[in-house]
Chain A
Amino acid sequence: MPTGLDANNSERRDPGAGGPPSGGRGGPSLRRGTSRWGERAIEFLLMLAAASSVLITIGIVAVLIKESMAFFREASVREFLTGPSWAPAFEPPAFGIRSLVSGTLVTTAVALLVAIPVGTIVSVWLSEYAKPRVRETVKPALELLSAIPTVVFGYFALLFVTPALQWLFARVGIELPGFNMLSAGLVMGVMIVPYIASLSEDAMRSVPAALREGALAMGATKFQTAVKVVFPAALSGITAAYILGISRALGETMIVAIAAGQEAKFTFDPTEQAQTITAFIVQISGGDLPHESTGYRSIFAAGLTLMLMTLAFNVGGFLLRRRYKETY
């Protein structure tokens, strides 16, 4: 009968198991020995690593709030929300954020007008129609598109798309300025298409085949099946994709900083130049204002505004998704 009484057993490095077998035992003691503190320590370390994410979020929130509060001690909240112009570097400075918000919203809207239709159609095509070979090639290729750094997109927008649009607009007699929200928005839209397409396609592919087959068996074409059955079934995931696209567009910096301009203007005309919240932050932090000044601190207030906008869209999206969540 094999006994566990080998010398080997006591060679175990941790003091937990093993230990001298006492009389009347078939093997090493089963009792919990001194707890494996080495293991506990490592588990603690791993837990800290995971919990760091919470600390990071707290850090972001803390910084934004602290600096914004410092900002609002100097500038009035009323002016911030309703003031007509944004000119933090002037004397006296003007802190009405609506110009930046309009810039952000217009560029985002232009981008989404491109990204949502194109992304959705491409995702339906990829999920319902494209042959597996085609899908295996196109999907990674689209991922490559989203992997290009945004400065390159900005370069493209400024030095390729804008001249092309200017030429186009000239033929209908409109003069398009060198910096405008349209170019930036369009290019941003193309950049976001892979995000929307990829996530929507994943959502649609996880719709069970049984649902599709049911529709097809009744004589529906693929298009009708896709539109009437698959798309609604995947709506929750597709909405998540749209929300991601919106967040991405709101937070985008380089494309708009390069191509949309650095002049804050309250306008909803995409053919005009404007400055987004993100472009403003980049402009000031790369510039001359002293750190303790109100003008400088305005970037934190602007950042806070951006976060709140993003949060609003995310929460709205979450609620929408809950309404449409399908269980099958």
Chain B
Amino acid sequence: MGLTPIQHKLLLRRKIVDRLFVALGAALAVFCLSVLAMMIAALIRDGSSRFGWSFLTQFPSSDPEIAGVRSAFVGTILVMIVTAATAIPLGVMAGIYLEEYARKNWFTAVIEINIANLAGVPSIIWGLMALGLLVQYLNTGRSVLTAGLTLGLLVLPIVIVATREAIRAIPQAIREASYACGATRLQTVRYHIVPYAMPGVLTGCIIAMSRAIGETAPLVTIGALTYVAYLPPPPLSERPWLLGTVSGLTFSEEVRTTPFAALPPAFAVGATRAGEIEFDVRLEAAGPSQRTVVNVEDSATLTPAGLAEAVDAVQGVLARFDDDGHLRFESELDEWFLISRDTTGIVEGLGMERGGGRHGFLDWVNSGFTVVPIQMYDWVSRPEGQGFKANAAAAGILLVTMTLAMNASAIYLRNRLRRSIRW
């Protein structure tokens, strides 16, 4: 070839560098993928002992052997429904507007910059916004609705971008043909743009939903509960509980705005049965039922002190005050009375009303809830001695299964798409 020995050596060295680089690149890629594999393997190793049908159908509990994700799983699905109902219509409509209607002016530029910005907002900031705006200002509470709205807005940019890309893929010739037939812009959008973009939009929606499933930080921030041992009420289901309103109790402003988990049990609703006082502290419509049974020898021990002790044994009294300052609660107990620690004993003579009936169609939307990633976070955060590691891992298996299934189907859809309509 006519190279001098020095040139030959340099060339060889460059070629070696080249080869080394390929090896390095491939090795690093393999490394990352092996981390993926290790994570999944770790979850399976740690969680397969707990994962199973009972895990999916049991409520959480302080006993790791029986604690399950029933409420979390249902909560995830319900929150996803609200998320989809928020993000998909809003995102698709915005995408259609930006691609088919918007003129190139400053207004459009502002919108586009905004969408790009929103895509980069850290998820915890979404939680703060939801806290300030929805929970506190609009008073939607710590409910499925708030969670769904928050996540829906969080994934909105994903849906918008997917919609725009799907619409952009439609050749201009098709639009021209439609207009040349005498169609208006809306008719073109309705009969051509939307149908042809649908598969791409669908893929984008699946990706958006899979992102939303795994989001934990915003939901913790809005105060999603970690210990939820009930399910949001299905539409039109019967209210098995009596609904009562208590009036005449005064509570300080501080007590009223404290998150319930911290409210010291100032009172409880209880009933006596032989030998035990049963407290049903489900003091919020569709709130968690935290029944605690405290044994007492006989009714003679219903002294104020004894009652005070009994009340202290109750964990987490939940209070919800309506606009008139009344305390709303539900109770399954037939005969009951109010016990208040602040007074000398049984509080009587308070105004009580009983209600009843059926849950509304959308009551579940306003209900407290939890989701699988929060449940996992809760379990992971407990000290190892408590034995919840397997539960956390099992929850992780569930979570990973859901997200990978959705992502894989989106990838599959995208590949199917490339083969179907060849423009």
Contact = CB atoms under 8 A, between A and B. Distances in A.
Direct A–B contact in complex, judged by CB atoms less than 8 Å apart? yes
Interface of A: 14, 36, 38-39, 42-43, 45-47, 49-54, 56-57, 59-60, 62-64, 66-67, 118, 121-122, 124-126, 129-130, 138, 140-145, 147-156, 158-160, 190, 193-194, 221-224, 226, 244, 247, 250-254, 257-258, 278, 281-282, 285-288, 290-292, 299-300, 303, 306-307, 310, 314
A62 B214 CA distance: 27
Contact of B128 (A45, A53, A124, A299): A299
B94 A190 contact: no
B285 interface: no
Contacts of B216: 149-151, 253-254
Contacts, number: 272
B8 interface: no
Contact of B258 (A253, A285, A290): A290
Interface residues of B, number: 93
Interface in B97-140: 97-98, 101-102, 110-111, 114-115, 117-118, 120-129, 131-133, 136
B305 interface: no
Contact of A147 (B28, B89, B404): B404
A54 B111 CA distance: 6
A221 B15 contact: yes
B26 interface: yes
A155 to B, nearest CB: 5
Contacts of A278: 122, 124, 217
Given A159-B389, A253-B217, A310-B120, A149 B39 contact: no
B350 interface: no
Contacts of B156: 53, 56
Nearest to A249: B122
A251 B127 CA distance: 12
Contacts of A45: 93
Contact of A303 (B124, B220, B222, B257): B124
A129 B22 contact: yes
B213 interface: yes
B380 interface: yes
A148 B184 contact: no
Given A63-B129, A151-B399, A253-B123, A122 B25 contact: yes
Nearest to A36: B184
A124 B32 CA distance: 15
Contact of B377 (A14, A56, A254, A290): A254
B93 A118 contact: no
Interface-centre pick from B89, B125, B131 (highest chain A CB count, 10 A) = B125
Contacts of A14: 184
B407 A144 contact: yes
Contact of B186 (A39, A193, A254, A292): A39
Given A46-B97, A159-B42, A251 B36 contact: no
A124 B121 CA distance: 28
Contact of A155 (B21, B257, B380): B380
B113 to A, nearest CB: 9
18 contacts: A46-B94, A49-B97, A50-B102, A56-B156, A60-B126, A63-B132, A67-B132, A122-B29, A140-B411, A141-B36, A143-B411, A149-B215, A150-B216, A151-B399, A285-B221, A286-B220, A291-B258, A292-B257
B101 A155 contact: no
Contacts of A59: 129, 133
A244 B156 CA distance: 18
Contacts of B127: 281, 285
Contacts of B110: 54
Contacts of A253: 122-124, 216-217
B153 interface: yes
B120 A247 contact: yes
Contact of A121 (B28, B211, B214): B28
Contacts of B33: 138, 141-142, 145
Contact of B223 (A46, A129, A158, A286): A286
Contacts of B126: 60
Nearest to A299: B128
Contacts of A290: 254, 257-259, 262
Contacts of B317: none
Contacts of A300: 128, 132
A158 B393 CA distance: 12
Nearest to B21: A223
Nearest to B97: A46
Given A142-B32, A194-B32, A303-B128, A46 B136 contact: no
B362 interface: no
A194 B36 CA distance: 11
Nearest to B89: A49
Given A159-B389, A221-B15, A282 B220 contact: yes
Contact of A149 (B120, B254, B399, B411): B399
B111 A50 contact: yes
Contacts of B184: 14, 36, 39
A60 B129 contact: yes
A145 B32 contact: yes
B29 A138 contact: yes
B94 A291 contact: no
A258 B377 contact: yes
Interface string B215-234: 11100111100100000000
A328 B350 CA distance: 81
Contacts of B400: 148-149, 152
Contacts of B153: 56
A221 B353 CA distance: 85
Nearest to A194: B32
A39 B184 CA distance: 9
A188 to B, nearest CB: 12
Contacts of A310: 120, 122
Given A57-B118, A251-B122, A254-B377, A282 B32 contact: no
B258 A43 contact: no
B276 interface: no
Contacts of A145: 32-33, 35-36
Given A50-B94, A148-B36, A159-B42, A282 B217 contact: yes
A49 B25 CA distance: 44
A290 B259 CA distance: 6
A138 to B, nearest CB: 5
A288 B261 CA distance: 7
A226 B14 CA distance: 13
Nearest to B115: A53
Closest 5 CB pairs of A and B: A251-B122, A125-B25, A149-B214, A63-B132, A49-B93
B66 interface: no
